[in-house]
Amino acid sequence: MTNGSIAVVSAAPEQFGTIALATLRDLLGGFDEPVVGLPTGRTPVALYEAMARRQYTFPPGARLFAIDEYCSPTRREGTNAAFFDRFLPRASCHAAVALPRADAADPHAEVRRFCAAIADVGGFDVAVVGIGDNGHVAFNEPGSAIDSGCRVIELTASTRAQVDATWTPPPETGMTVGMAQIMAADQVLLLASGPAKSEILSAALTGPVTDHVPASFLQLHPHLTVVADALALSGVSL
């Protein structure tokens, strides 16, 4: 179904990863050597597991970039680099996923270098994103402007809690692409699953466009596709 420029694909919970992969494959089909932004977190695990089951490979020449990374003086299990090592085997790609270094001595310089590399290849063709419990996209926490750029950002307590099982204390800051880089993508694919995302997904898709819910900025994107399971969509009325 569609709402303005938003295309919403509903999936049964057990089919979420498979449908997310089919949707991503369709979006990538419109580009030669696509530049792709990829997320981490609980939600996209189903997508990457579907890639492994179906032995999916990205198109030849695809360039893959993470959309964020924690700042940590030492490499830890909870970093996004470790996430991709676990859930996106090299066999799925013709090149490794590029990330800023979590343990960079100067994270501000590191995220500038990282985002310059994205800009050098023309920016994202397809940006795949999740939505945080507080409405963040990548690490663009509440208060982020629609034109915010790549930067180091202070993480909220709810974001930090996502990795408190893997290191204590969890990192206080992260490096992220900005809303500006996400909004500039030709296509945005937003993934959401589970009942815990129902309220915030409704706010993002049908509520006011506000920096209190950075995901709401995606309402203004000309080509937004949402893949969500029935549980996440249970509170959404389009």
DSSP assignment of 146-204 = TT--SEEEEPPHHHHGGGTTTSSSPPSEEEE--HHHHHTSSEEEEEE-SGGGHHHHHHH
The full length of the chain comes to 238
**Contact at 8 Å (CB) between 101 and 60?**
no
What is the reported pLDDT for 217? Answer: 98
Q: Is 141 a catalytic residue?
A: yes
Parallel/antiparallel/unpaired status of strands 6-11 and 2-3: antiparallel
Alpha-carbon distance 136 to 90, whole Å?
28
What is the reported pLDDT for 166? Answer: 77
Catalytic residue (one of 136, 186, 221, 229): 136
Residue-averaged pLDDT of the chain: 93
Rounded to 10°, the helix 45-54/16-28 angle is 80
Alpha-carbon distance 100 to 181, whole Å?
15
Catalytic residue (one of 134, 199, 211, 223): 134
Alpha-carbon distance 38 to 201, whole Å?
19
Alpha-carbon distance 148 to 130, whole Å?
18
Residue matched to tokens 């204390």: 169
What does the angle CA 54 – CA 95 – CA 80 come to, to the nearest 5 degrees?
A: 80
What is the reported pLDDT for 74? Answer: 72
What is the reported pLDDT for 114? Answer: 98
pLDDT by 10-residue block (mean), the chain, 238 residues: 74 97 96 96 95 91 96 81 86 79 96 98 98 97 98 95 81 97 98 97 97 98 97 88
Q: Is 134 a catalytic residue?
A: yes
- Closest CA relative to residue 138, chosen from 169, 104, 106, 179: 179
Q: Which two tokens stand for residue 193?
A: 């699953």
Q: Is 68 a catalytic residue?
A: yes
Alpha-carbon distance 157 to 143, whole Å?
14
Q: Encode pLDDT of 178-197 as tens digits.
A: 999 999 999 999 999 999 99
- Closest CA relative to residue 37, chosen from 164, 140, 138: 138
Q: How many CB atoms lie within 10 A of CB 42?
A: 12
CA atoms within 13 A of residue 126's CA, in its CB half-sphere: 26
* Domains of the chain: residue spans and CATH: 2-235 (3.40.50.1360)
What is the reported pLDDT for 92? Answer: 64
